[in-house]
Amino acid sequence: MDEDTTFNILDPFSSIDLGIADSAGGIKQWAIANRDLIQPIKAVFNDIVTAIDGALNAVPPLVMLALITLIAWQAAGRRTAILVGLCLFALGLLDPNAWSLAMTTLAIVISAVTACFVIGLPLGILAAKSDGFERLLRPVLDLMQTIPAFVYLVPVVMLVGIGNVSGVIVTIVFALPPLIRLTSLGIRGVNPSVVEAARAFGASPRQILLKVELPLATPTILAGVNQTIMLSLSMVVIASMISVKGLGNEVLRAMGRLDAGKAIVGGLGIVILAVVLDRISQGMGQSGRERGQRHWWQSGPVGLAWRLTRARNETTPPVSAAPRTEVQSN
Amino acid sequence: MIHKSDDPVIRCDGVWKIFGARASEALDAVRSKGLSKEEIRDRYDCVVGVCDASFDVGRGEIFCIMGLSGSGKSTLIRHINRLIEPTAGSIYIEGQDVNALSARELRRTRAEKIGMVFQNMALMPHRTVLENVAFSQEVRGHDVRERTQTALRAIRAVELNGWEDKYPDELSGGMQQRVGLARAIAADPAILLMDEPFSALDPLIRRQLQDKFMSLSAEMKKTTLFITHDLDEAIRIGDRIAIMKDGVLVQIGTPEDIVTNPADDYVADFVAGISKLDLISAGKIMEPIDAYTRRDGPIDFDAWPEAHPNQSLDQLVDLSIATQHPIVVKLDGRPLGVVTKNALLRGIKGDTAPAASAA
Ligand SMILES: Nc1ncnc2c1ncn2[C@@H]1O[C@H](COP(=O)(O)OP(=O)(O)OP(=O)(O)O)[C@@H](O)[C@H]1O
Ligand SMILES: [Mg+2]
């Protein structure tokens, strides 16, 4: 019975070795062996990220600043636009290189969030429609959110290699879950009697999704997008370990050299970018009607242009002119 | 397919609906052992929603379903357009078994033949009044111009013109119900399913809308299933009324039937407070002329007021006030019976037993 003297019934674990770490090491081998398959796909995505980066950096900083401020105005109103404008101004003043680094980081975030949206929205819809799929997905999402990034950093690098694409992949793993969760939550939260009414008037499942469920779930889904953006930004430093450029890289390098000043510049840059993106995406989550407008194109810079062209043309107002525009045209 | 014109437009045949995971077991138990709703709930953890409902609704008829809260009215009406499927039984619309329709045919039937008003209105909060009303046309793929026109017509019919670009949450509860009504009639369906459509309205508007609805439905010959728990409303607009209790249709009949011959105590309780003045006719409460003369001897009714057998109690009261004599009921100048003041008073109380037996 007790041949194995090292076996202790109260501590069985120290003497049992299932070799999980070794077999997981096999994944690494497999990844290296299959690199050639991945490389062409990687090249395409790398080009996309680089193109976005190039485009953002090609625009003169002040023009870009004005553009983002206008977007903020449209999405979230005048007050937010002022805040966003000031933040961006401060970002530019941080350091001569800060603006360009921020644009590179922004390019990574835009790529990651777009990919999250493309992957997350359909998965969220499926999860909302099928309890089984939701049950299946939930532990996976938990895993994605809690597993330390360093654990999957290595296999991803083995498989894809260092660079922007790996950075985006690593970011997606971490930033995707809230979007899926909130999409599912939003669709499940749609008033069932409204869905029933749509059914009673002959809508197909597809029409119900597009005309009823998604529009009504939009605020929740946009809250998910907001979360995804924030989480993407929080991955910026870790992603820079696998040679992703941008503000994160600044922080990483400063850390290596114990250069507190540079670390602060990079860190502040990330924070400012976070504030800007957060305000803009939160603004989109609120409907214009909450802010007292009937249609999104009646507010912000677009609304201004719309009213100007109307005043110029002196056209007769449509039957349902909103009170706001009537005041304007008098 | 040839339909006789008197074919029922809606026909329910032994419809059962039991909610719960063990519905079919529970159904067998109810059928074989006749368990009550409570026993089913305790033993099978199932809720009996509808219990063997059968009825026909003819073309142009307004069929009211009445019952207390939880009696299964909404559940029953949802079967007609197959929002829920019956546990047993079948439903026919214009002779077509609804549960045999393919998904595509079902959607077409829902969009083109059936308009529905929901108890909780269920307007789409992200769409304007116009977009809500045009919804069924939109899902059928009609172009914007056409569906805007039909929707505007429906909005005008419920007198909401000027509000078409507002959102539902900018409207009062009663206005929202009218939007619901407009949405139901917009596609000009042959069948209307109305689940307590006027319950959120004040009495004045409710009466106006009832009148509006009755004229609309008479004019367009809409077949209507109308749920209400207001008996006055049911009597005002219903051609026939069904009384529902715990999922069972306990009585189906004309308003007069229901009020004068309640099938059981439940129905009797329901109709106890109702005014019979407009419902009961002279023919129902008169004592036949033979019985009367046999008892009181030959009489001379020259001085008596005369009434037609179809005249309501309300009118008889007016006649009776002017004189001390009983009223003689005549058809084509021939005396049929006599309504004494006692019989009239009993009739107002809802007691239509022939006066002779009471005397
Ligand atoms: N989806 C469901 N699942 C389980 N039970 C249900 C469901 N829908 C209805 N029921 C049950 O069916 C019964 C009838 O409900 P229903 O909504 O038809 O009542 P109702 O007559 O319309 O009442 P009210 O006048 O309050 O609207 C109730 O006991 C209810 O609990
Ligand atoms: Mg109901």
A215:B139 CB<8 A: no
Residue A197: its pLDDT value, please? 96
Q: Among A155-164, B62-71, B81-90, which is the least confidently predicted range?
A: A155-164
Sign of the alpha-carbon dihedral angle for A95, A101, A106, A109: negative
Say if B3 falls within a structural domain: no
User: In this structure, are residues B87 and B247 in contact, taking their beta carbons and an 8 Å threshold?
Assistant: no
CA–CA separation, B251 and B230 (whole Å): 16
Shared domain check, B179 and B116: yes
Burial of A318 (0-12, 13-18, 19+ CB in 10 A): exposed
Instruction: Give the tens place of pLDDT for each residue, B172-204.
Output: 888 998 999 999 999 999 999 999 998 877 888
Closest-CA residue of chain B to A194: B122
Closest CB to B122 among A194, A203, A204: A194
ipTM: 0.83
Question: Taking CA A123 as the corner, what is the angle to CA A120 and CA A129, rounded to the nearest 5 degrees?
Answer: 140
- What is the full DSSP assignment across B93-129? ETTEEGGGS-HHHHHHHHHHTEEEE-TT----TTS-H
Check pLDDT > 80 for residue A229: yes
Residue among B236, B235, B229 nearest B212 (CA): B236
Residue B287's CATH number: 3.90.1280.20
Mean pLDDT of B307-315: 86
Shared domain check, B134 and B221: yes
Instruction: Give the tens place of pLDDT for each residue, A260-318.
Output: 888 998 999 999 999 999 999 988 877 556 656 667 777 778 888 888 888 777 555 45
CA–CA separation, B158 and B179 (whole Å): 8
Written as one letter, the residue type at A234 is S
Sign of the alpha-carbon dihedral angle for A142, A146, A148, A149: positive
Check pLDDT > 90 for residue B334: no
Say if B291 falls within a structural domain: yes
| Chain B residue numbers touching A199 (CB-CB < 8 A) | 83, 110
Q: Given B271, B299, B334, which residue is the final one in a domain? A: B271
Written as one letter, the residue type at A260 is A
Residue A156: its pLDDT value, please? 85
Residue A253: its pLDDT value, please? 92
Say if B1 falls within a structural domain: no
**A40 touches B: beta carbon within 8 Å:** no
Residue B358: its pLDDT value, please? 39
Mean pLDDT of A151-156: 85
Burial of B194 (0-12, 13-18, 19+ CB in 10 A): buried
Q: Among B37, B48, B71, B243, name the best residue to mutate to test ligand 1's pocket (greatest count of ligand atoms within 8 A of Cβ).
A: B71
Say if B242 falls within a structural domain: yes
Mean pLDDT of A214-243: 93
Say if A309 falls within a structural domain: no
Residues paired with residue B56 on neighbouring β-strands, in sequence order: B11
B354 falls in which pLDDT band (50, 70, 90)? low
| Chain B residue numbers touching A296 (CB-CB < 8 A) | none
Closest-CA residue of chain B to A318: B165
B41 CA → ligand 2 middle, Å:
20
Shared domain check, B326 and B295: yes
Q: Which domain holds residue A230?
A: 46-59+100-287
Residue A291: its pLDDT value, please? 56
Q: Among A41-50, A314-323, B213-222, which is the least confidently predicted range?
A: A314-323
Nearest CA residue ID for atom 12, ligand 1: B49
CA–CA separation, B289 and B298 (whole Å): 10
Check pLDDT > 50 for residue A326: no
Number of domains present in the structure of chain B: 2
Check pLDDT > 90 for residue B147: yes
A328 CA → ligand 2 middle, Å:
47
Q: Which domain holds residue B303?
A: 282-358
A328 falls in which pLDDT band (50, 70, 90)? very low
Residue A170: its pLDDT value, please? 93
A193:B135 CB<8 A: no
Shared domain check, B230 and B110: yes
Residue B163: its pLDDT value, please? 93
Say if B117 falls within a structural domain: yes
Residue A54's CATH number: 1.10.3720.10
Residue B284: its pLDDT value, please? 82
Shared domain check, B296 and B191: no
Could you list which residues have their CB under 5 Å from ion ligand 2? Answer: B 74, 119
DSSP H or E segment with residue A20 = helix A20-33
User: In this structure, are residues B239 and B63 in contact, taking their beta carbons and an 8 Å threshold?
Assistant: yes
Say if A328 falls within a structural domain: no
- Residues in contact with ligand 1 by the CB-under-6-Å rule are B 19, 47, 49, 67, 69-75, 119, 229
Say if A242 falls within a structural domain: yes
Half-sphere exposure of A17 (CA within 13 A, CB side): 5
Check pLDDT > 70 for residue A320: no
Contacts of residue A303, defined as CB under 8 A and 6 or more positions apart, other chains included, come to: A293, A297
Structure tokens at A10: 């109260």
Residue B155: its pLDDT value, please? 94
Say if A86 falls within a structural domain: no
Residue A165: its pLDDT value, please? 92
Residue A292: its pLDDT value, please? 60
Shared domain check, B313 and B191: no
CA–CA separation, B279 and B264 (whole Å): 19
Nearest CA residue ID for atom 13, ligand 1: B49
Q: Given B218, B241, B271, which residue is the final one in a domain? A: B271
Give the mean pLDDT of chain A.
87
User: In this structure, are residues A189 and A220 in contact, taking their beta carbons and an 8 Å threshold?
Assistant: yes
Output B299 or B352, whichever has higher pLDDT: B299
Check pLDDT > 50 for residue A325: no
Shared domain check, B249 and B181: yes
Say if B20 falls within a structural domain: no
Q: Given B223, B244, B271, which residue is the final one in a domain? A: B271
Closest CB to A201 among B120, B135, B164: B135
Strands B287-288, B223-228: pairing kind: unpaired
Percent of chain B surpassing pLDDT 70: 96
Residue B4: its pLDDT value, please? 47
Check pLDDT > 70 for residue B357: no
Contacts of residue A180, defined as CB under 8 A and 6 or more positions apart, other chains included, come to: A120, A123, A124, A127, A137, A141, A224
CA–CA separation, A100 and A92 (whole Å): 9
Output B64 or B173, whichever has higher pLDDT: B64
Residue A68: its pLDDT value, please? 95
Number of domains present in the structure of chain A: 1
A 244-303: CB under 8 A from B: 289, 294
Check pLDDT > 80 for residue A7: no
Residue A289: its pLDDT value, please? 60
Shared domain check, B292 and B259: no
Query: How large is the angle between the packed helices B203-220 and B173-186, nearest 10 degrees?
Result: 0
User: Which ligand has its closest atom nearest to the C-alpha of B65?
Assistant: 1
Say if B217 falls within a structural domain: yes
Nearest CA residue ID for atom 22, ligand 1: B74
Mean pLDDT of A94-113: 94
B79 CA → ligand 2 middle, Å:
13
Residue B68 CA: nearest ligand 1 atom is: 25
B356 falls in which pLDDT band (50, 70, 90)? very low
Shared domain check, B70 and B139: yes
Check pLDDT > 90 for residue B310: no
Residue B340: its pLDDT value, please? 87
Instruction: Give the tens place of pLDDT for each residue, B224-251.
Output: 999 998 888 898 889 999 999 999 999 9
Sign of the alpha-carbon dihedral angle for A149, A150, A156, A161: positive
Q: Among B47, B116, B230, name the best residue to mutate to test ligand 1's pocket (greatest count of ligand atoms within 8 A of Cβ).
A: B47
A323 falls in which pLDDT band (50, 70, 90)? very low
Say if B29 falls within a structural domain: no
CA distances from B105 to B108, B111, B145, B183, B190 (A): 5, 10, 25, 21, 16
- What is the full DSSP assignment across B266-287? HHHHHHTTS--TTT-BHHHHPE
Output B129 or A6, whichever has higher pLDDT: B129
User: In this structure, are residues B339 and B351 in contact, taking their beta carbons and an 8 Å threshold?
Assistant: no
| Chain A residue numbers touching B83 (CB-CB < 8 A) | 196, 199-200
Residue B144's CATH number: 3.40.50.300
Question: Taking CA B228 as the corner, what is the angle to CA B258 and CA B176, rounded to the nearest 5 degrees?
Answer: 160
User: Which ligand has its closest atom nearest to the C-alpha of B48?
Assistant: 1
Closest CB to B107 among A194, A204, A320: A204
- What is the full DSSP assignment across B164-218? TTS-GGGS-HHHHHHHHHHHHHHT--SEEEEESTTTTS-HHHHHHHHHHHHHHHH
User: In this structure, are residues A286 and A222 in contact, taking their beta carbons and an 8 Å threshold?
Assistant: no
Shared domain check, B168 and B114: yes
Closest CB to B165 among A191, A201, A320: A320
pTM: 0.84
